[in-house]
Structure 1
Amino acid sequence: MNVADSVAAVSLGDAVSASVSYDQLRVSDGTLYWLETRPDAGGVTTLTRWRGGEGVRDASPAGFNVTNSVHAYGGGSFAVAEGWLWCAGEGGLYEGRHGGELDLVSRASLGDLTLGDGELLAVRESDHGDELIAISLTGTRQRRTLVASRGFLSAPRPGPSSLAWSAWSERDMPWDACEVWVASYSPHGHIESPVKVAGGADESAIEPRWGPDGALYFMSDRSGWWNLFRWDGDKVEAVASIIGECAAEPWELGYASYDFLEDGRIVVAVQDGPRHRLVLIDSSGAVRSVELPYTSIKPYLAALGTTVALIGSSPTVAPQIALVHLGDNDPQVEVLAKSEHAGLVRVKVSTPTELRVRVTDSREVLALVYPPAGSPASWRAPVIVRAHPGPTASCLLRLDWQAQFFTSRGFAVVDVDYLGSTGYGRAFRESLYGRWGLDDVDDCAAVANHLLAAGQATPGQVFIRGASAGGYTALHAVAQHGPFAAATAISAIVDPDRWTKTVPRFQRAHAMRLRGGAGRVEAAAVRRPVLFIHGTADEVAMMEDVCELADHLAARGVPHELLLLSDVGHYVATSTGAGAALEAELAHYRAAVAAAATS
């Protein structure tokens, strides 16, 4: 592997500890709050706050993990007002003052926490469905149910004498068919006269919130893209027409892809393929892009006057909490927090190029190609093709230290936006239904074959790896003839039919729609060495399926390794097992490279 001697390798510890995750920006009383997950602190998620003149401080007690598991993936785990915190955590809902101890309020698992008038609104999930509940913030903390459904509920948003929320059935995912509802509401009163504002079988209407004009705003993909709409109590109209996704696929609760500035403009994060941009929409519907140093923006925007707080990154900038001042002049960016640390300042970063590969006459696929760090333009190297999870996720133009871990060791890393990815419109996202394990595998193989034909990928040294749904893709890629010499399957799904019965309630409809393509990964079909990495506490993809497949491979004499990470859940990359996983993955590829070199 021709890595220049001057290129410093990203250490295992740095690759893990640099991967700090920021989430869930919110503003209250002029103070900005966010969640910060620090792998070097055992993956505990801390509530952090910033206020002008006071700097950045932790708001939740040390060691308290601010999280919830509503709909399996959580979200909306805190609410704040006047120095008080309400945080979801292990064991239920807690409340307390900034920096102080938190007291248990309710043992219910709650998410999408939102403050109403003297009440805390939240989503409560059970095996039988969802409820929107209200907890009185005075007296005995009485709890009452506002809305109940056998399906799913989210985004309780109180407005002028009204409550808005989103709802979808147990047969759907929120990005397939989701509705926005409104009803008359008063604190301590009942929900009355509910009205469906938008959404249906062929429309995903999400992220409702009330504007300063008293109208209800929401995202809808009725045009084929999630765009912003407004309901004035009588009719629905488009706020602006944008070719791009103005919302993220709602895996988690509490997303905020847009917000309102005090001068009447609306700020929106838009995704075009692997890129994000920030746009401003004025009162006439005119759209203007904002020049920023970021190419990836998380779906959490929070406005403070004419400033917007965001979580941004780029291929050379690790995730940052930034204030973007949007006055009349050019935008000014003020960084409040960043996940970089001193040990990586001098590391040479591999920056990606966009590659488009024709798969069929009617479809092309986009990939991000990270060359080995320090390599010349005419590089040739072992290649790791990464199939993202979801499969509705997408590859993003942001600094990924775990990719840099491999590029600094002479590998090229290639992220593929295969069919089913978000960022290309509703039709592209839906097209993988019933074709899972087929078209996604074809797309990854097409990219790998293109790099081989171009002389960039070393023959016999092209690998595929994936996590969760991407793990299923990776396994099927080595269960057929193709360009891949080995696979790494992390938190992998093995049997789509069995998965429909074991997957969490939220994702069951997704499993039902995806299946019908390649079917179960059969040990008899696997042709290349496989590394399995799985957490013993994974509740999304069952460990037993992976262990069974590994046993069958052993019986057939197929080279494989199984790394089980004790007490680790579905998200290995941000867990306490992240370091061991990276180390095992590197050893797996190096063994395959050595075998290819001697064959």
Structure 2
Amino acid sequence: MSVDDAVRASVSYDQLRTGGGSLYWLESRPDAGGGTTVRRWRLGDGKRDVSPKGFDVASGVHAYGGGSFAVAEGTLWCVGGDGLFRCRRGDDQLELITHGSFGDLTVGDGELLAVRESEQGDAIVTVSFTRASQMRTLVSSRGFLGAPRPGPGWLAWTAWSDRDMPWDACEVWAATYAGGVTENPVKLAGGPEESAVEPQWGPDGALYFVSDRSGWWNLYRWDGRKVEAVAPIPGECAAEPWELGYSSYGFLDGGRIVAVVQEGPRHRLVVIESDGTVRPVDLPYTSIKPYLALRGTTVALIGSSPTAAPQVALVDLADAGPRVEVLARPEDAGLDRARVSPPTELRVPVASGREVLALVYPPTGAAADWRAPVIVRVHPGPTASCLLRLDWQAQFFTSRGFAVVDVDYLGSTGYGRVFRESLYGRWGLDDVEDCAAVAVHLLSTGRALPGQVFIRGASAGGYTALHAVAQDGPFAAATAVSAIVDPDRWAETVPRFQRAHAMRLRGGAGPVRAAQIQRPVLLVHGTADEVAMVEDVRELAEELTSLGTVPKVLLLPDVGHYVASSRRAGAALEAELAHYRSVMAEAANDQRRLHGGQR
């Protein structure tokens, strides 16, 4: 597989929406410059782009965006650049409504609702479909707001303070809503030890939401008087809310609810019957994004598996056996025939008595007793998780003889609230220990080749990777992409949404210090990164060079925090591969020199 193949196949689908008999989604195409387009599918009409060509539909609200478009009465409302726009049916021109940072666009009764962010805080605002220039504020906060969801005579939303992340402490509120005015707001769930997210009004008039008060994000219902559990499940029924606009559950005809449940690296779809019975849905997907869109007995989802790239699919749940129709997937015949390396699950005990789970991708076509160089990948977040889905960038390396290992280190999502919170104050310590334990296990069992075990990570994972080679351990080299270098400085420069996260994580290993780096490193960073400042990486590279340990550095002009989805993703992959091969070649040369001297 060429690097161009890997980039071309890394198409991303997000933010499913229904409206007017059509299904809409965001589609990002790295081979087309990394821009994001709104696509529409309609039965009998097929797929087509509905956002103007060349316009990148993307929200910067809360740094990570979400809910960046909505469609109502044939008009596309979307966020891009530094403003809110609309594009009427049959018109390829965007009309700027107002400047600002917007997200979580939601269609109400004759109006658009959205979250608007500023340095002073958040507001839930409305824009009239007929008088778009008139914007009104419904709710405001010095902290953060999300999920404006109108119901019959009500408005629900989420709120959390600027001292918290929404997965730590988030509240669900509701207020009467009539004549464009909210009154008598009441907090229904959430608090310092509870994360309540994703409110939705059900067809029965009740307000549903997901709360982790039991230790797992599960579904609850408020009927206007009391809150009750809908269906206790030992799994996560919501994703960690890095973005706005998530929809992890929805309502089918007949009083049924469909929901995505995460258990470790796996997702599954379940139907909750009206009596609370939970019934699994047999699907060919092991990873499902938190964007469900429902109509009648059909659910649209974005699913993938270790052998199937992410795809938009319709699942008909009218009968006992679900019927799946794929609407969109990366379209390249050569890649459809490409051999892939599916992963196996590995559980490794660590010193504290825990087990750490990893997904191991062997080299493509390898025998059962394979031995190979290994790349241990540290997912970003750290509240993210490794997922059972086809990752073409992993396949890029497995097709070149490497094994790739994804680690669900302490702090990952999919294992409950306690596990998720346990990395606070231990960042750079327990995550490094977990990754090292997996590497040592692969070495001790003869899978990994000595001196050919590498670690790579992006964002917070880059910080972990750098600390892993700042001590004696199993790793021969590290690649750090969009890396955080100094947690204290990062807490001062990171966007306001993530400051609380930075404050809670720090206190473990401290800053990455050049004098402690013991192995070769590759630093890949976008010069337009607004989450992890490129200046910190430049400074680290200069310090390493002054100490005689010259790092490899790839700075990507005008690229932001997400290198993997940028137009320079191919260059980053090539640099990473060259980095590992150079370390392996140098080790081989050392061995030859050693043996030559012995003779």
**TM-score of Structure 1 vs Structure 2, range by shorter chain:** over 0.9
Q: In 1, distance between residues paired with 2:511 and 2:430? A: 15
Q: Distance in 2 between matches of 1:263 and 1:491?
A: 47
How many angstroms does 1:140 deviate by? 5.2
Cα-to-partner distance string for 1:524-552 (whole Å, 9 max, x where unaligned):
10000000000000000010001100100
- Which residue in 2 is equivalent to 1:580? 571
The size of the alignment, in residue pairs, is 589
Q: Supply the distance in 2 between the matched residues of 1:280 and 1:596 (Cα, whole angstroms).
A: 54
Aligned to 1:489: 480
Structure 2 match to 1:172: 164
Deviation at 1:99? 5.4
Task: Assess if the C-alpha contact under 8 Å between 2:103 and 2:115 holds in 1.
Answer: yes
Contact 1:132 1:156 (C-alpha < 8 Å) held by counterparts: yes
Q: Distance in 2 between matches of 1:454 and 1:525?
A: 29
Match of 2:8 in 1: 17
The residue number in structure 2 matching 1:429 is 420
Displacement of 1:329: 2.6
- The equivalent of 1:115 in structure 2 is 107
Give the alignment's TM-score, normalised by structure 2: 0.97
If the length of structure 1 is used for normalisation, what is the TM-score? Answer: 0.97
Which residue is equivalent to 1:163?
A: 155
Q: Does 1:264 align with 2:263?
A: no
Structure of greater relative contact order (alpha carbons < 8 Å, 6+ residues apart): 1
Q: Runs of 4+ in structure 1 displaced over 6 angstroms?
A: none
Counterpart residue number, 1:366: 357
> What do residues 496-521 of structure 1 show as CA deviations (whole Å, max 9, x unaligned)?
00011000000000000000000000
Is 1:438–2:429 an aligned residue pair? Answer: yes
**Counterparts of 1:119 and 1:401 in 2: how far apart (Å)?**
41
* Mean CA deviation greater in 12-21 or 344-353: 344-353
Counterpart for residue 6 of structure 1: none
**3-state secondary structure, aligned to 1:263:** helix
Partner of 1:299: 290
Q: Which residue of 2 aligns with 1:3?
A: none
> CA offset at residue 107 of structure 1?
1.3
* Contact 2:306–2:390 (8 Å) recurs in 1: yes
Q: Residue 524 of structure 1 aligns to a residue in which SS?
A: helix
Q: Which residue of 1 aligns with 2:594?
A: none
Paired position in structure 2 for 1:525: 516
State the 1:64 CA deviation: 1.2
Contact 1:58–1:99 (CA under 8 A) maintained in structure 2: no
Q: Does 1:92 align with 2:87?
A: no
Structure 2 counterparts to residues 397-416 of structure 1, below 5 A: 397-416=388-407
Matches within 5 A, 1:235-254: 235-254=226-245
State the distance in 2 between where 1:139 and 1:359 align: 61
CA RMSD between the two structures = 0.9
* SS of equivalent to 2:167: coil
Q: Deviations over 1:257-309 (max 9, x none)?
A: 00101221100000010000000001111000000000000000000210100
- Pair 1:74 & 2:65 matched: yes
Change (3 A) 1:368 1:138: same
Map of 2:204 onto structure 1: 213
Alpha-carbon shift at residue 139 of structure 1 (Å) = 2.9
AA of the residue aligned to 1:437 = G
SS of the aligned residue for 1:191 comes to strand
Alpha carbons 1:60, 1:99 under 8 Å: kept = no
Match of 2:125 in 1: 133
Q: Which runs of 5+ in 1 are unaligned?
A: 1-9
Moved more, 548-557 or 108-117: 108-117
Q: 1:309 to 1:549 in 2, by over 3 A?
A: same
1:4 aligned partner: none
Secondary structure at the residue paired with 1:343? helix
Distance, in Å, in 2 between the alignment partners of 1:459 and 1:598 is 15
Q: Deviations over 1:1-21 (max 9, x none)?
A: xxxxxxxxx101010111000
Write the mapping of 1:48-67 to structure 2, written as runs, cut at 5 A: 48-67=39-58
Q: Is the 8 A contact 1:209 1:216 kept in 2?
A: yes
Q: Distance in 2 between matches of 1:229 and 1:567?
A: 44
8 Å Cα contact 2:522-2:552 kept in structure 1: yes
Secondary structure at the residue paired with 2:270?
strand
Letter in 1 for 2:272: I
Match among 391, 405, 427 for residue 382 of structure 2: 391
The residue aligned with 2:452 is 461
1:328, distance to aligned residue in structure 2 (A)? 2.3
1:301-338 Cα deviation digits (max 9, x unpaired): 00021010000000000011000010123001000000
CA shift at 1:230, angstroms? 0.2
The match for 1:103 is: 95
Q: Deviations over 1:362-415 (max 9, x none)?
A: 311000000000110000000000000000000000000000000000000000
- The secondary structure found in structure 2 opposite 1:244 is coil
Question: Which residue of 509, 512, 518 corresponds with 2:503?
Answer: 512
Give percent identity, aligned residues only.
Answer: 74
What displacement does 1:37 show? Answer: 0.4
> Contact 2:541–2:550 at 8 Å: present in 1 too?
no
Judge which range, 85-94 or 314-323, deviates more: 85-94
Q: Is the 8 A contact 2:522 2:576 kept in 1?
A: yes
